[in-house]
Structure 1
Amino acid sequence: DLLILDDIALGNSNSRQRLANFIQQGGAAIVALGADFSLPSSTGDRQLLRSLLGFELGQASEMGDWSIDPLEYKSPVIAAFAGYPNAGLLTTPIFRYWQVAHLDTGAMVDMATTTGAPLIVRHPYGQGMVASILS
């Protein structure tokens, strides 16, 4: 089972705990953080978010113009683009992204900017998996 959360707040504390339980029991989630995403206000909810995502989320970057680094296409998430330089991945502009303040052990960066900022991070949580898209 897969939940896709696209540029929305992750609900109240109860909703976030239900999401954590779903993933811990073998579910998967793709969390796309965009302009409308906001960090939870309570410390407990921020800690739960960090344990789910596999990193401490910083602030949104300033507006800019970054390029994508596919990290040698090592990730199974990005591997389908290997050998297809005109597929659009490398020319997709990144104007803003959420910054990672600290990456936890076990979190995998699948794609980054050419300056090294993570753009896609996967993290196992219990028996499940969370993939975060940071732009």
Structure 2
Amino acid sequence: MSAKILLLEDDQGVRFTFQMALQDAGYDVTAVASCSEAISALSEIETAILILDLKIGEEMSLPVADYAALMRPDIPVVYITGSRLFTGGELFGLSRNIRWVLHKPVNLPDLVSMVDYVSGQSIAAAAS
């Protein structure tokens, strides 16, 4: 069974590209465009990995990571950002579930490799 991924990305083209790359790699991907959609989806599906774009329009997606940490303390979060905010690694201190940060433009094989790695860690943690 493939890991379920929730992808939050507001740019339709980037969202579609990431979704297709992850689906081609065998992942079950739910892609959403807003923070409210992401929070709703987290309540409805058993997500294994959360991939969040840091800036969704004019807002930050940090509340989504916080909600995920509250509802599912074990869910790993991978952030993707084109922003110059938090360049010193401060993002990791803002939510306990953040595992990795990828900077745009994201190389698709790097994205898939990162998700493979995080997915493997999640399976190992669940088994122990």
- TM-score, normalization: structure 1? 0.30
Q: Which structure would you say has the larger RCO, counting Cα contacts within 8 Å and 6 or more residues apart?
A: 1
Larger radius of gyration between Structure 1 and Structure 2: 1
Name whichever structure is richer in strand by fraction: 1
- TM-score, normalization: structure 2? 0.31
Name whichever structure is richer in helix by fraction: 2
